[in-house]
Amino acid sequence: MTHLPLLSRHGLDDTLAWTPDGPVSVRQFLAQARVLAGQLPPGKWLLNVCQDRYRFAVGFAACLLTGKVSLQPASHAAATLERIQADYPGTFCLRDTPFDTVGLPSLDYPDLTQAPSGDVHAIPEFAAEQLAAILFTSGSTGLPQAHCKTWGKLVWNGRAEAERLGLDRHPHALVGTVPVQHSYGFESTFLLALQGGCPFWSGKPFYPQDICAALEAVPGPRLLVSTPFHLATLLDAEVPLPAVDLLLSATAPLSSALAARAEASCQAPLLEIYGSTESGQLASRRTTAGPAWELLSGVELEQAGEQTWALGRHVEGRIPLGDLIEVLPEGRFLLHGRHGDLINIAGKRTSLAYLNHQICALPGVRDGAFLLPETSDERGTTRLAAFAVAPGLDARQLLDGLRQRLDPVFLPRPLILLESLPRNSTGKLPRQELLALLAARKRHD
């Protein structure tokens, strides 16, 4: 049976994480994980909701040491926790902030600063087949779905990204605006740290000033792991940014205009990661260099008609992808939107991605999104809805603008104005949240 190390490219006295209290070495990290492992209650499932990235890491390592499995839902809503309690009996929660566990037994993260590290002499290894984590989809297209991840696949996942970004040769300090429980944050701020030799900042900065402070807190070279939504917010704030050597984006399509703006502001290259919770990360591209994606090492694509499957090295099996993909030579491909985004009304076709781009491009619109409801009206006609954040404008003005850009069959009915859209911590819009807003509007009308 193959065993793989918890950390690669790290020495025991290297810095693994930077916290508000200063750097933490690999040796200290392992000592704290060992102490926490001895305090974990019996049971197989651990819901790790630690907001501090370093504390999450200690909890994850303690799980591996005790053979437990880390449950990582993208949402911590009450309904999600109740479903986990039903599907994974005996689950207990590790938390480091006040958190309503909705009846789940919990363990508050203990003070581990005095954990003895003098007898830590080696980095532990774990069986490649060991079930290490269960990640859940974000729910942006429906109810969250669970996906099992073995330790070996997670290791190769982190190593493939480190190789693609060049961090296996030149490690960077990682600062992430995305939660570590989310698949993208898990891969690009946690696995990348463990398997790429990169130290990471323990916090999860959101506001522009907090992102700047986090970047200042770690030494260069620096990698900022973010999303299109967070990047746009950061650039709009026009705050002086500390030096950033590499930018990474995922979770939503990144426009070439925003990519160019980010590169110009930071004087650093920006790369996008393509993947999914089901498959893990699969490919990358430099957005300003063109639309084609390049597969990560060991990953393959297979096609039959319009369906594409991912498989190979760190992919758990043969995973169907939800995107329309045009395969190119030499491990490259183009994305043409998601299968679920395609819309056909009265024989005319478009996509939600295209519609979202058009509403967000209207002058005065700060954020916007279209929604295809689950049911048609009483005449059997499909009616799109849309939501917009556009201070100082009314729905009529926005509809007038959309008429200049869209076929009349794609005009939203209704168009709902909001102070903000219900984006989650990665900038995504869960479909259930939009359906709830639409239902509330219909009840009001």
Q: Check residue 340 and give its pLDDT.
A: 67
Question: Is the pLDDT higher at 378 or at 60?
Answer: 60
Whether residue 297 sits in one domain with residue 354 = no
Return the H-helix or E-strand segment holding 125: strand 125-127
Q: Which of 25-29, 214-218, 221-225, 407-411 is predicted least confidently? A: 407-411
CATH code at position 271:
3.40.50.12780
CATH code at position 395:
3.30.300.30
Question: Is the pLDDT higher at 295 or at 104?
Answer: 295
Sequence-distant (6+) residues with CB within 8 A of 213 are 205
Whether residue 212 sits in one domain with residue 266 = yes
Q: Check residue 113 and give its pLDDT.
A: 92
DSSP E strands: which ranges in 278-366? 280-286, 293-295, 299-304, 307-312, 319-320, 323-328, 332-338, 342-345, 348-351
- Residue 11 pLDDT > 60: yes
Domain's final residue, options 278, 304, 337: 337
Whether residue 307 sits in one domain with residue 430 = no
- Residue 194 pLDDT > 90: yes
pLDDT category of residue 347 using cuts at 50, 70 and 90: low
Domain's final residue, options 337, 371, 392: 337
Whether residue 135 sits in one domain with residue 162 = yes
Whether residue 39 sits in one domain with residue 120 = yes
Q: What is the pLDDT of residues 109-122, one digit of tens each?
A: 999 999 999 999 99
Q: Which of 86-100, 130-144, 353-367 is predicted least confidently? A: 130-144
Question: Is the pLDDT higher at 253 or at 269?
Answer: 269
Whether residue 329 sits in one domain with residue 350 = no
- Residue 215 pLDDT > 50: yes
Question: Is the pLDDT higher at 444 or at 50?
Answer: 50
Query: What's the whole-number mean pLDDT along residues 402-428?
Result: 89
What number of residues does the chain have? Answer: 445
Whether residue 228 sits in one domain with residue 246 = yes
Query: What's the whole-number mean pLDDT along residues 193-199?
Result: 96
- Residue 140 pLDDT > 60: no
Q: How far is it, in rounded angstroms, from Cα 259 to Cα 24?
A: 33
Q: What is the pLDDT of residues 271-320, one digit of tens each?
A: 999 999 999 999 999 999 999 999 999 999 999 988 999 999 999 999 99
Whether residue 115 sits in one domain with residue 47 = yes
Whether residue 45 sits in one domain with residue 147 = yes
Count of the separate structural domains present in the chain: 2
For residue 162, how many other CB atoms are within 10 A of its CB?
Answer: 23
Whether residue 401 sits in one domain with residue 383 = yes
Amino acid at 42: P
Q: What percent of the chain has pLDDT over 70?
A: 96
- Residue 82 pLDDT > 90: no
Whether residue 378 sits in one domain with residue 302 = no
pLDDT category of residue 379 using cuts at 50, 70 and 90: very low
Query: What rounded mean pLDDT belongs to the chain?
Result: 91
Q: How far is it, in rounded angstroms, from Cα 211 to Cα 206?
A: 6
Q: Check residue 326 and give its pLDDT.
A: 94
Whether residue 267 sits in one domain with residue 127 = yes
- Residue 378 pLDDT > 50: no
Range of the structural domain that residue 417 is part of? 346-444
Q: Check residue 244 and give its pLDDT.
A: 97
Sequence-distant (6+) residues with CB within 8 A of 290 are none
Domain's final residue, options 277, 309, 337: 337
Model pTM score: 0.83
Q: Where are the alpha helices (DSSP H) in 307-423?
A: 352-360, 395-403
Q: What is the pLDDT of residues 224-252, one digit of tens each?
A: 999 988 998 899 999 999 999 999 999 87
Question: Contact 299/274 with Cβ under 8 angstroms?
Answer: no
